[in-house]
Amino acid sequence: MKLLDRFLDGDRIALSRVITLLENDRDRRSAILDSLYPRSGKARRIGITGPPGAGKSTLADRLTSLLRKDGRTVGVIAVDPTSPFSGGALLGDRLRMQGAWDDPEVYVRSQADRSHAGGLSEATPHAMTALDAFGKDVIIVETVGVGQSALDVSEVSDTTVVLLTPESGDSVQAMKAGLMEIADVLVVNKADREGADRFASELRMIVDMRQWAEGWKPPVVLVSARDDTGMDGLYDQLNAHGDFLAGEDRLGKRRLRQGRSAIQRALGELWRGRLTERRDGGDTLDRLSERVARREIQPLAAAREIMDSLSI
């Protein structure tokens, strides 16, 4: 509990340690969250997603600078799907997050996505809770892609920024990847590259053709994160979306959805945990996998068998 006192005192080393425990220590995770969760919920959560190399880290860095100029404290989580070890990503992101690196009010963390599915790491929502409880005003989560993974960034964000580039292929591809569905703000990065204007107009046409049920039409913002152009426009749009959420308790509704999906994830985590806790858990899974492969039992029935054996 000493650790938590230091955490609550604003000790960054304690923050790092707490996040590491949340990532790795299944046994202590729940008890730590018991203390942190009631202290969280105040931070604004911004998700940034887009193809590899689109400029997400560079954008997060620029955004962090703007937020700091506004006097807001920032936590950044970068989820790297490509490397099983976060070391490489951390180094890379350190280099790219140059603007923010020396500022004690900015905390940057890299997490490896162990599923390699391009979504969030299982521990990302927990790390967000920690940063939130630590008192960060804004949490930025950067991740590659959505769709294939169990959890995508829009499920943990109040505002989801979808970042595309002129070279990331046509806008139809972005639609296919399901990116349009989750975008609150669409950003075309690398405005310095050829075809950026045309690409942005294409995206605007696509946005205009759709129905936007909630009464928010995602703006398309053209920026060059590298050259730091267009960033004020993006900042304004993020604030506009924040104001939009503040109206008619929309944020409350989003948080309700976030809560629901958090419980569902936790359920999965608990069941998986129970299975690995049991000495014969691995055997049971192995045995049933073989039977499923031999078509002797179908997967749903196998899962039910496991549930029945675990729930006593």
Ligand X SMILES: Nc1nc2c(ncn2[C@@H]2O[C@H](COP(=O)(O)OP(=O)(O)OP(=O)(O)O)[C@@H](O)[C@H]2O)c(=O)[nH]1
Contacts of 250 by beta carbon, 8 Å cutoff, 6+ apart? 214, 244
Using CB under 6 A, pick the residue from 5, 25, 70, 192 that binds ligand X: 192
Q: In the stretch 41-80, what mask flags binding to ligand X with x, by CB under 6 A?
A: -----------xxxxxxx----------------------
Using CB under 6 A, pick the residue from 193, 198, 257, 304 that binds ligand X: 193
Using CB under 6 A, pick the residue from 190, 221, 230, 238 that binds ligand X: 190
Q: Which is nearer to ligand X, 10 or 87 (CB)?
A: 87
Minimal distance, residue 64 CB to ligand X, in Å: 12
Maximum CA pair distance of the chain? 63
Question: How far is Cα 43 from Cα 139, in angstroms, rounded to an integer?
Answer: 7
Tell me which residues in 31-70 interact with Mg ion (CB under 5 A): 56-57
Minimal distance, residue 227 CB to Mg ion, in Å: 18
Q: What are phi and psi of 112, to 5 degrees?
A: -90, 135
Q: Which is nearer to ligand X, 78 or 245 (CB)?
A: 78
Helix axes 299-310, 250-277, angle to 10 degrees: 80
Binding flag, residue 109, ligand X (CB under 6 A): no
Question: Of 219, 249, 251, 253, which Cα lies nearest the Cα of 235?
Answer: 219
Contact 141, 124 (CB under 8 A): yes
Question: How far is Cα 174 from Cα 168, in angstroms, rounded to an integer?
Answer: 9
Q: Which is nearer to ligand X, 96 or 136 (CB)?
A: 96
Q: Please report, as ranges, the residues that interact with ligand X according to CB under 6 A.
A: 52-58, 96, 144, 189-190, 192-193, 224-227
Binding site for Mg ion (CB under 5 A): 56-57
